[in-house]
Structure 1
Amino acid sequence: MRNKLDQVDFNILNILADNAQTAYTDVAKQLTISPGTVHMRMRKMRDMGLITGATLTLDYAKMGWKMTIFLGIFLSEISLFKSVMKKLNDIEEVVKIHHVTGKYDIFIKMHARDSNHYKQVYQDEILSVAGIRGIESFISIEEKVERHIQFIELPS
């Protein structure tokens, strides 16, 4: 079926999730299938909306961005979440925004060059967003794991 994934699709995803720059010919060799099959399967998964792009994994610290901070944000009114998320999206240091359940209304991840840069972004940009009632900050000491889940064929 065109819109159903099988083990070959999952195997392709596993290889490319580990390194999105792997050439289709190398994926094909690893799976003992043709490069054309990999290309067709990738096109199918893009058409399904399953694959929406490819990203680079960057070492921000090596580029001078030494702090990773997570912020749990409380809203003054939950109905404001779209406008708050839009304003947070405009802050270039914010790299992930999640509308969440639980203690917080929004959870974000951001990067800063140092504590002074973080203070500037926090005080001048984040705290000025209308609709934010409170914030709890969490500074990451070290990231130990960044990975995708291993994909296996799901039972029908």
Structure 2
Amino acid sequence: MRNKLDQVDFNILNILAENAQTPYTDVAKKLIVSPGTVHMRMRKMREMGLITGATLSLNYAKMGWKMTIFLGIFLSEISMFKKVMEQLNDIEEVVKIHHVTGKYDIFIKMHARDSFHYKQVYQDDILGIAGIRGIESFISIEENLERHIQFVEVEE
């Protein structure tokens, strides 16, 4: 059981995926287990590398960052991948970077306060990265869903 998940583990993950700030005592009450059990299970899942941290879900628009943009990036040479990723990682407006298959080599998500801010980041920071051959931009009009998968135990 040390490196195997069971339904209690999945139920803990489901509750905390909904709200990572739920106290372990509340999780324990919902699952009818002891708070110590929740604490031990969480420690086990961290040690397994299953849980790597906890984050806040932020409403960027309410904080004045009104644009969410996705960029499909084409590399001039695939060998430039690591260097391009490192430089994209240094741009604070970039919040997700994916190495993908298909049409693009890299797909990123970024936020900007407005179109002027986006233009500044795009032209000054992103286009200046050596190894980028081309970019396609997609501006998000509205996000309608953000969630985690609901996990259930799978029998082998």
Q: Fold conserved (TM > 0.5)? A: yes
Partner in structure 2 of residue 124 of structure 1? 124
- Report the equivalent of 1:75: 75
User: Which residues in structure 2 correspond to 1:117-156 (within 5 Å)?
Assistant: 117-156=117-156
Q: Is there any run of 5+ residues in structure 2 with no aligned partner, and where?
A: none
The alignment of Structure 1 onto Structure 2 pairs a total of residues equal to 156
In structure 2, distance between residues paired with 1:154 and 1:22 = 25
Q: Which amino acid aligns with 1:10?
A: F
Secondary structure of the residue aligned to 1:137 is: strand
**Could you list the runs of 5+ residues in structure 1 that have no partner in the other structure?**
none
CA RMSD of aligned residues (A): 0.4
Corresponding residue for 2:9? 9
Query: Aligned partner of 2:41: which letter?
Result: R
Q: Give the Cα–Cα distance (whole angstroms) in 1 for the partners of residues 65 and 48 of structure 2.
A: 36
Letter in 2 for 1:47: E
Matches within 5 A, 1:2-151: 2-151=2-151
* Structure 1 segments (4+ residues) deviating >3 Å: none
Q: Deviations over 1:91-138 (max 9, x none)?
A: 000000000000000000000000000000000000000000000000
Separation (CA, whole Å) in 1 of partners of 2:96 and 2:36: 35
Q: Percent identity?
A: 86
Q: Deviations over 1:54-105 (max 9, x none)?
A: 0000000000000000000000001111100000000000000000000000
Offset, 1:142? 0.2
* Matched residue SS, 2:14: helix
Any idea what SS the aligned residue of 1:128 has? coil
Cα separation, 2, equivalents of 1:155 and 1:119: 51
Cα distance between partner residues in 1 of 2:135 and 2:83: 17
Please state how far the C-alpha of 1:154 moved relative to its aligned partner: 1.6
In the aligned structure 2, how far is the partner of 1:155 from the partner of 1:13? Answer: 18
Please state how far the C-alpha of 1:155 moved relative to its aligned partner.
1.9
Give the aligned residue type for 2:149: I
Q: Secondary structure at the match of 1:50?
A: coil
Using the alignment, how far apart are the partners of 1:47 and 1:154 within structure 2?
21
TM-score by length of 2: 0.99
What SS does the corresponding residue of 1:149 show, helix, strand or coil? coil
